Amino acid sequence: QSVLTQPPSASGTPGQRVTISCSGSSSNIGSYTVNWYQQLPGTAPKLLIYSNNQRPSGVPDRFSGSKSGTSASLAISGLQSEDEADYYCAAWHDNLNGWVFGGGTKLTVL
Amino acid sequence: QLQLQESGPGLVKPSETLSLTCTVSSGSISSSSSYWGWVRQPPGKGLEWIGNIYYSGSTSYNPSLKSRVTISVDTSKNQFSLKLSSVTAADTAVYYCARDRALYGAFTMDVWGKGTTVTVSS
């Protein structure tokens, strides 16, 4: 069982907007910034959003992140077929003195 | 562009020690703004942080693995390594190395290796 809680699945049709939630506690999301990763099938995780809402160079602005209290969200607008992937949230955890991840959300583009 | 590459045996026997190395290229492992870490992913499951190391040798480990894990660094070779002892089938996973860098005031695992599959089986 993961320390951060994500829905196991999400779906949408091309062009739609979808959001993926990530719930934690005061020991992780409540105290530290949240990062989001995209993992395409058979590949390594790729940094998608860092520091709650910052996009690395090359990540389309269709991807956005937000954080409020002990929860965070990833939003994908203008959904495309190539967005079909697993998405993970991550945050530093005080008591563990290390990174914790969500269990991952499998996004299906219908 | 910084690149990371994992290497090591793909098959390890139960009760033995898993040993992997991550080679850093197009960048220095001695960067003052970076830690270097390991993450694993069992088949069909999510990501699990194993631990990280600073170029000085300072380490941090996942408490659930701490008794079996050792991460070390060799700055002369621009490499860092993972050793996981007394492995069982539950340690079968894809193992990734990653850079943990200070970005926008917080640390982020921003560059990852492609991963290497390790199977524990006799």
Residue A1, pLDDT > 90, answer no
- Say yes or no for a CB contact (<8 Å) between B46 and A96: no
Its sign, for the CA torsion A96, B52, A37, B42, is negative
Give percent of chain B with pLDDT exceeding 90. 93
**Residues in chain B within 8 Å Cβ distance of A35:** 108-109
**What does the pLDDT read at residue A17?**
98
Q: Which residues of A touch B103 (CB under 8 A)?
A: 50-51, 54
Mean pLDDT of chain B: 96
Cβ contact B112–A44 (<8 Å)? yes
Reported confidence tier of residue A108, pLDDT bands at 50, 70, 90: very high
More reliable by pLDDT, B106 or A66: A66
Residue B91 has pLDDT above 90, yes or no: yes
| Triad A99, A46, B89: Cα angle to 5° | 60
Span A19-67, pLDDT tens digits: 999 999 999 999 999 999 999 999 999 999 999 999 999 999 999 999 9
| Residue numbers in A near B109 (CB within 8 A) | 35, 47, 90, 99
- From chain B, the residues in CB contact with A47 under 8 A are 108-112
Compare B106 and B96 and report the one with higher pLDDT: B96
- With CB atoms and an 8 Å threshold, state whether A51 touches B104: yes
Out of A35, A43, A98, whose CB is closest to B108? A35
- A2 close to B (CB below 8 A): yes
Contacts across the A-B interface (CB distance below 8 Å): 66
Q: How confident is the model at residue A92 (pLDDT cuts 50, 70, 90)?
A: very high
Any idea what DSSP says for residue A50?
B
Instruction: State residue A82 phi and psi, 5-degree precision.
Output: -75, -5
Tell me how far apart the alpha carbons of residues A54 and B107 are, in angstroms, rounded to a whole number: 13
What residues have CB less than 8 Å from A42, skipping those under 6 apart? none
User: If DSSP states are collapsed to H, E and C, what string results for chain B?
Assistant: CCEEEEECCCEECCCCCEEEEEEEECCCCCCCCEEEEEEEECCCCCCEEEEEEECCCCEEECCCCCCCEEEEEECCCCEEEEEECCCCHHHCEEEEEEEEEEECCEEEEEEECCCEEEEECC
Confidence of residue B103 (pLDDT cuts 50, 70, 90): confident
For residue B39, is it left (φ>0), alpha (ψ between -120 and 50) or beta? beta
**pLDDT higher for B105 or A82?**
A82
Q: Are A105 and A86 in contact (CB under 8 A)?
A: yes
Among the partner-chain residues A43, A47, A51, the one whose CB lies closest to the CB of B106 is: A51
